[in-house]
Amino acid sequence: MRYLLLLVVLFSFASVRAQKVDVDDGLVTVDGTPYCKLVKKDCKLGLCDFSVQTLDGTEIAFIKWREYNDKDKQMQSNPNGRVLFYDWTFLGTGAKCETDQISAKNVAKILVDGPLMKDGVLNPDGEKKIVLVNGMRHSERMKVLNATIIIIQN
């Protein structure tokens, strides 16, 4: 009985804390409240770049989809080892990071979890958190894959 009560308490805390994040026609909402805009740009083959904007339309970040081939990711369903990722650039600071998410909803969740916005304006602490948590692992991996080995003989 004690364990059942503990589970009920834990689930009630989890449901209170969970936020419903949606993207509809470029508007990101959290529990039905407008949060920011995520405007699709330059879509190709179902993949789109995004402009992150405040509710008044001020652009604060640009998210561009990119790809590379990684031999370690090759498998029957992905014979070229294609890796898709998003390259984020925050326009005010020039800070950059990369994420694996390739859907508007997943990008919106990152924005909200940051939180990138606070009281309708850019939250610098949220921007720093997004950059620090995600890093630049795809760029680092591409450097490793394209590394040129130079042998210098004396």
**pLDDT tens for each residue of 83-107:** 999 999 999 999 999 999 778 999 9
pLDDT band at 56 (very low <50, low <70, confident <90, very high): very high
Residue 34 token pair: 């407008």
Arithmetic mean of pLDDT over the chain: 87
- Hunting for tokens 């364990």 — which residue is that? 3
Residue 13 reports pLDDT greater than 50: no
- pLDDT > 90? residue 150: no
Residue reference for tokens 């009630």: 12
Contact call for residues 90 and 127 (beta carbons, < 8 A): yes
**Residue 46, number of CB atoms within 10 A of its CB:** 7
Kindly tell me the burial class for residue 80, based on how many C-beta atoms sit within 10 Å of its own C-beta (0-12, 13-18, 19 or more): exposed
Q: What is the mean pLDDT of residues 61-76?
A: 94
Which pLDDT does position 102 carry in this prediction?
76
Average pLDDT rounded to a whole number, residues 61-74: 94
> Looking up tokens 């994420």, which residue turns up?
99
Distance, CA of 152 to CA of 154 (rounded, Å): 7
pLDDT for 4: 47
Q: What is the pLDDT of residues 69-79, one digit of tens each?
A: 999 999 999 99
pTM for the model stands at: 0.80
Provide the pLDDT for residue 101. 75
CA distances from 135 to 17, 45, 131 (A): 26, 27, 6
- Per-residue pLDDT, averaged over 35-41, amounts to 96
Region 125-152 average pLDDT: 86
Looking at residue 5, what is its pLDDT? Answer: 47
